[in-house]
Amino acid sequence: MRYVIIGGSAGGIGACEAIREVDPVGEIILISEEPFPQYSRPMISEFLSGKASFEKMKYRGDVFWKENNVELKAGRKAVHLDLKERCVELDNGEKVKFDRLLIATGGKPIIPKTEGIDKRGVFTFTTISDAEKLLAVVKKNQRAVVIGGGLIGVSVAEALVERGVVVTIVELKDRILSLILDEVASRIIRDAMEDSGVTIITGQTVKSITGKYEDNTAVEGVVLSNGEEIPCGLVIFAIGVIPRTELVLGTDIKTNRGIIVDRYMRTNVSDVYACGDVAEVYDFIFGENRVLPLWPTAHLGGRVAGYNMAGKKALFPGGTAMSALNYFRVPVISVGLVNPTNNNEYEVMIQHDSVRKIYRKVVLRHNVIVGFLLVNDIERAGTLFYLMHNFVDVKELGSQLISDDFSLASLPFDIRRNLFMEGTRWMVLPN
Amino acid sequence: MRRILVFEEYCIGCGLCEVYCRVQHSQSKDLIKAYNREQPKPLSRVKLVKAKPVSFAVQCRHCKDPPCVTACLSGAMRRDNDSGLVVHDPDKCIGCWTCIMVCPYTAISINVLGSGVVAKCDLCSTLDTPACVANCPNEALVCEEVL
Ligand SMILES: Cc1cc2nc3c(=O)[nH]c(=O)nc-3n(C[C@H](O)[C@H](O)[C@H](O)COP(=O)(O)OP(=O)(O)OC[C@H]3O[C@@H](n4cnc5c(N)ncnc54)[C@H](O)[C@@H]3O)c2cc1C
């Protein structure tokens, strides 16, 4: 049996580990464009700020590939898929045959068409190589404009601030982190960022990037959609990522925004699987598949794919929008639907202590938790996630869910017992 | 491997489990010093949870298929196949709190005063009996060997 995996990050690594749990002898070949794929992508901001060395960023140790007997083709790009011949063609012309294939190619940064984008000083922020390039040029007191106030934008802003850079974030929506936070929570983070010297401009976008008078190839500043000019030496595009589906376009593999998979992580083509940022995976709150570009869902999907590829049935338990943050020293956890729009259908419970800056919000639909948001007091998150993932009727608990003294002991006896007897169920292997 | 069983019907909510867990995870291993002098203040990894009349102690269950390991962004959380323990490496941990998001037992704490990252039960692997179990006066915590 020969397993071929394209991409060696969260998804690819999860698959290798799962395959090896089931099949100690099958051949595993992993193709990775990045020369050293097994690093923690979210940690590139720690790398840029200087908080983590590359050594610390290693998600798995150097021996990982050897230990798991994986043939790593590092620094090699897959350029073509031949599903009839069941082979992957690499950029050096080599053809790699597969019995089972996993596509874990992740995402690529969104870069909207903007005038002046090819100037020196313009960056994206999704790989270690991006972080190294930025690190090579950042200087104290330099000015930077970060385009996009989502997860990646806020994380690169934090790293730049720690390097003494003067940062402005330009966000199109009316608040930062708008997809995962509501107004109150977003304001708490915004205050913390402004206290650290970050300028946040909302409701605007960057129309063009201007060049220096003496050297038009270097960045001089940006022009916003309202015409305002902001001088800066660095521009970082941090709008988000889109599935990197280029390899499967034009093949029989079905895509929507991402590659479509079932809950066994199979594509519509037999023996071909996909996971992680490149795929549309099952969201248990929406009850349908969508792009969930998150590390835990990528790793979990990779494991599920790996087990199934090796012949052990495993079901993807479902993910949802789920983010834990610690930007600018504000702990936040946001899961599921935190900004419901149709108020007739949802019940929202809120506890806000503006002095302690503690904020808790739980969103219910038919007495089941469909989303929650916690700021500065986050340790109950896992219990809420459990209740949510198991669709537990929480009518009896009511406002206890957001009260100061909620704990595992507040749960009804049956739920407590199930939890201790049956385990978490946010897992992939049958007990 | 060993496992801690929790019997809430015997728990009297005295909190000695937390006291002795803290001592065990202190530098001095001395009750008075651990509480009064040691900096950073050691953290208890077991949590006594209460909602009258219920109380019980909860610590990492060392799950077979641990969600915290799947969710961990840095590789700091892993399951040791030989011992069956879920092991946390504070030097690798970046304090992103992703593990906290998925642990239903709330068994992972933020070590605010200490490492600044998370901390959790290590089953006192250097002791014959975990400190919380050994010091529970009413056998509400029991340690057993399982396969
Ligand atoms: C700055 C930043 C911060 C983040 N913070 C968080 C966070 O706090 N929490 C969270 O949950 N998520 C976070 N994420 C998202 C998380 O990193 C991703 O969801 C995760 O990395 C997805 O893993 P993956 O395996 O699907 O793909 P990726 O990590 O994108 O890896 C795909 C790999 O495949 C390779 N590849 C692609 N195409 C080919 C090809 N044709 N041939 C060969 N190799 C190829 C790529 O080079 C890459 O190495 C963050 C991301 C960034 C950029």
Cβ contact, residue pair A326, B63, below 8 Å: no
Question: In chain B, how many domains are there?
Answer: 2
Cβ contact, residue pair A58, B55, below 8 Å: no
CATH class of A331-421: alpha beta
What is the pTM assigned to this prediction? 0.96
pLDDT for A344: 87
* Dist. CA A299 → ligand 1 center (Å): 10
Between CA A273 and CA A281, with CA A279 as vertex, the angle to 5 degrees is 95
Query: Which spans in A77-197 are helix H?
Result: 128-137, 151-162, 183-195
**Interface-testing mutation among B3, B50, B58, B74, with chain A (most A C-beta atoms within 10 A):** B74
Minimum Cα–Cα distance from A43: chain B residue: B74
Task: Answer whether residue B40 is part of any domain.
Answer: yes
pLDDT for A428: 67
Chain A residues whose CB is inside 8 A of the B64 CB are: 423, 429, 431
- Rounded Cα–Cα distance for residues A311 and A365 (Å): 38
Question: Do residues B76 and B92 share a domain?
Answer: yes
Pocket test residue of A13, A77, A277 for ligand 1, highest count of atoms within 8 A of CB: A277
Question: Do residues B5 and B55 share a domain?
Answer: yes
Instruction: Using 70 as the pLDDT threshold, list the residues of chain B that sit under it.
Output: none
**Domain A2-108+242-309 matches domain A331-421 at the CATH topology level:** no
Task: Answer whether residue B137 is part of any domain.
Answer: yes
Chain B residues whose CB is inside 8 A of the A410 CB are: 51
**A9 C-beta closer than 6 A to ligand 1:** yes
From the list A58, A335, A408, which residue is nearest B75 (CB)? A58
What is the rounded end-to-end Cα distance, in angstroms, of chain B? 6
Task: Answer whether residue B147 is part of any domain.
Answer: no
Interface check for B49 against chain A (CB to CB < 8 A): the answer is yes
Cβ contact, residue pair A407, B102, below 8 Å: no
Contact present, B37 and B26 (Cβ < 8 Å)? no
Task: Answer whether residue B15 is part of any domain.
Answer: yes
Task: Answer whether residue B114 is part of any domain.
Answer: yes
Interface check for A42 against chain B (CB to CB < 8 A): the answer is yes
Which residue has a Cα nearest atom 3 of ligand 1?
A42
Q: Determine which helix (DSSP H) or strand (DSSP E) holds A78, and give its type and residue range.
A: strand A78-82
Cβ contact, residue pair B49, A409, below 8 Å: yes
Interface check for A312 against chain B (CB to CB < 8 A): the answer is no
Give the ligand 1 atom nearest the CA of A296: 11
Question: Do residues B23 and B52 share a domain?
Answer: yes
The phi-psi region of residue B116 (left if phi > 0; otherwise alpha if psi is between -120 and 50; otherwise beta) is left
Q: Is B8 helix (H, G, I), strand (E, B) or coil?
A: helix
CA A63, A66, A68, A72 dihedral sign is positive
**A125 C-beta closer than 6 A to ligand 1:** yes
Task: Answer whether residue B92 is part of any domain.
Answer: yes
Q: How many CB pairs under 8 A join A and B?
A: 125
The pLDDT tens digits along chain A (431 residues) read: 999 999 999 999 999 999 999 999 999 999 999 999 999 999 999 999 999 999 999 999 999 999 999 999 999 999 999 999 999 999 999 999 999 999 999 999 999 999 999 999 999 999 999 999 999 999 999 999 999 999 999 999 999 999 999 999 999 999 999 999 999 999 999 999 999 999 999 999 999 999 999 999 999 999 999 999 999 999 999 999 999 999 999 999 999 999 999 999 999 999 999 999 999 999 999 999 999 999 999 999 999 999 999 999 999 999 999 999 999 999 999 999 999 987 789 999 999 999 999 999 999 999 999 999 999 999 999 999 999 999 999 999 999 999 999 999 999 999 998 888 877 676 666 44
Question: What's the CATH number where B72 sits?
Answer: 3.30.70.20
Question: Do residues B53 and B90 share a domain?
Answer: no
Pocket test residue of A80, A87, A294, A330 for ligand 1, highest count of atoms within 8 A of CB: A294
CA A372, A375, A380, A386 dihedral sign is positive
pLDDT for A431: 40
Query: Which spans in A287-327 are helix H?
Result: 295-309
Task: Answer whether residue B11 is part of any domain.
Answer: yes
Angle of helix A10-22 versus helix A295-309 axis, rounded to 10: 30
**A186 C-beta closer than 6 A to ligand 1:** no
Question: Do residues B34 and B3 share a domain?
Answer: yes
- Residue B82's contacts (CB-CB under 8 Å, 6 or more residues apart) are none
Report, at the CATH architecture level, how domain A2-108+242-309 is classified.
3-Layer(bba) Sandwich (3.50)
pLDDT for A429: 61
CATH class of A122-239: alpha beta
Task: Answer whether residue B146 is part of any domain.
Answer: no
Q: Where are the domains of chain A?
A: 2-108+242-309, 122-239, 331-421
Interface check for A295 against chain B (CB to CB < 8 A): the answer is yes
Chain A residues whose CB is inside 8 A of the B66 CB are: 427
Cβ contact, residue pair A333, B101, below 8 Å: yes
Cβ contact, residue pair A407, B106, below 8 Å: yes
Question: Do residues B69 and B87 share a domain?
Answer: yes
Contact present, A294 and A319 (Cβ < 8 Å)? yes
pLDDT for B1: 82
Contact present, A401 and A349 (Cβ < 8 Å)? yes
Cβ contact, residue pair A295, B98, below 8 Å: yes
**A104 C-beta closer than 6 A to ligand 1:** yes
Cβ contact, residue pair A407, B97, below 8 Å: no
Question: Do residues B77 and B96 share a domain?
Answer: yes
User: Can you give the residue range of the structural domain that contains B94?
Assistant: 63-120
Query: Which spans in chain B are helix H?
Result: 16-24, 31-36, 67-71, 98-102, 131-134
Contact present, A50 and A162 (Cβ < 8 Å)? yes
Interface check for A249 against chain B (CB to CB < 8 A): the answer is no
Cβ contact, residue pair B73, A40, below 8 Å: yes
Interface check for A51 against chain B (CB to CB < 8 A): the answer is yes
